[in-house]
């Protein structure tokens, strides 16, 4: 079973590439962003609470995200594997994911880390904000805060996965197709 974490800062292209990898390797794509946006659109209690954090460029609390992921895994008991997009975002979430997977006889195969320059991230997000309808993609100060939160709270996951021998850096600059090819080669090397 192939279980991948697709990792990188906001604007690195995780969603686009996760969809591609999911189709290419027949994996269930689990996007915490999509799960949260669905809850926000439905105006559920979870969605309202999540929106407060997202609108400030902050992370949604671990317990909320972990419960959503557990539900999604349980909904696909016969999957060939999973690609996690936007999760885990903290070491605590990574430890929780390892525990959930272990309870189901699985483990993370590798963490693919997209590496993109900061100004390119800002440009990508501002461009996405023109068409996405996402308020957090329209304001450069919120975008810069999201990148700062990533650097402080999320980037430590690199060391977590390095210590397990599962960290795979991937150059995230270039066309969508060039990046996809680099990711496919990295997955095949697993």
Asked if 29 contacts 85 with a C-beta cutoff of 8 angstroms, the reply is yes
Residue among 43, 52, 56, 134 flagged as catalytic: 134
- Kindly state the tokens that stand for 163: 């210590």
Question: Is there a catalytic annotation at residue 138?
Answer: no
Longest dimension (CA), the chain: 43
Asked if 110 contacts 117 with a C-beta cutoff of 8 angstroms, the reply is no
Residue among 51, 72, 124, 146 flagged as catalytic: 146
Residue among 37, 70, 128, 166 flagged as catalytic: 128
- Find residue 84's DSSP bridge partners: 5, 30
Question: Is there a catalytic annotation at residue 89?
Answer: yes
Distance between CA 104 and CA 87 in Å, rounded?
Answer: 18
Question: Is there a catalytic annotation at residue 134?
Answer: yes
Q: Which residues belong to the active site?
A: 14, 89, 128, 134, 146
């Amino acid at each position: 079973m192939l279980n991948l974490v697709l990792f990188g800062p906001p604007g690195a292209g995780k969603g686009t590439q996760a969809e591609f990898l999911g189709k290419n390797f027949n994996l269930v794509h689990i996007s915490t962003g999509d799960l949260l946006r669905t809850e926000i659109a439905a105006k559920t209690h979870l969605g309202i609470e999540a929106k407060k954090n997202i609108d400030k460029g902050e992370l949604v609390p671990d317990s909320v995200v972990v419960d959503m992921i557990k539900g999604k895994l349980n909904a696909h008991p016969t999957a060939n594997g999973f690609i996690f997009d936007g999760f885990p975002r903290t070491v605590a979430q990574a430890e929780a994911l390892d525990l959930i997977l272990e309870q189901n006889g699985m483990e993370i195969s590798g963490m693919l880390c997209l590496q993109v320059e900061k100004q390119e991230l800002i440009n990508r997000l501002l461009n996405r904000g023109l068409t996405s309808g996402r308020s957090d993609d329209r304001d450069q100060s919120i975008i810069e805060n999201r990148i700062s939160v990533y650097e402080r709270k999320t980037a430590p996951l690199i060391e977590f996965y390095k210590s397990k021998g599962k960290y795979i850096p991937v150059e995230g600059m270039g066309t969508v197709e060039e990046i996809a090819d680099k990711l496919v080669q990295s997955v095949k090397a697993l």
